[in-house]
Amino acid sequence: GMAAPTMEERKACWGARDEFWQCLDSHGDDAAKCEKLRRAFESRCPQQWVKHFDKRRDFLKYKKKLETEGYHPPEAAGKS
């Protein structure tokens, strides 16, 4: 398997992730504008982490959306 990243490597990975996410935040999630940072993020982080952080970001965005727009349960079906 892959050796666990050192503390230095983890810091490099987190730094790259934070820069990439900040870029996405300031460009309304336009990934094309953050291409360079995305590549840095992918090259500095283990692939598993990249997958995990991508999922995490989607989750955080979803949560923020719920917090700002409120949760709207779907209308109960077949109610007349």
**DSSP structure string for 46-70:** -HHHHHHHHHHHHHHHHHHHHHHH-
Could you tell me if residue 70 is left (phi over 0), alpha (psi between -120 and 50 degrees) or otherwise beta? left
Please tell me which residue, 5 or 44, carries the higher pLDDT value: 44
Mean pLDDT of all residues in 23-49 = 96
Average pLDDT over residues 42-51: 96
> Average pLDDT for residues 25-49, to the nearest whole number?
96
Spans of all domains in the chain: 7-58
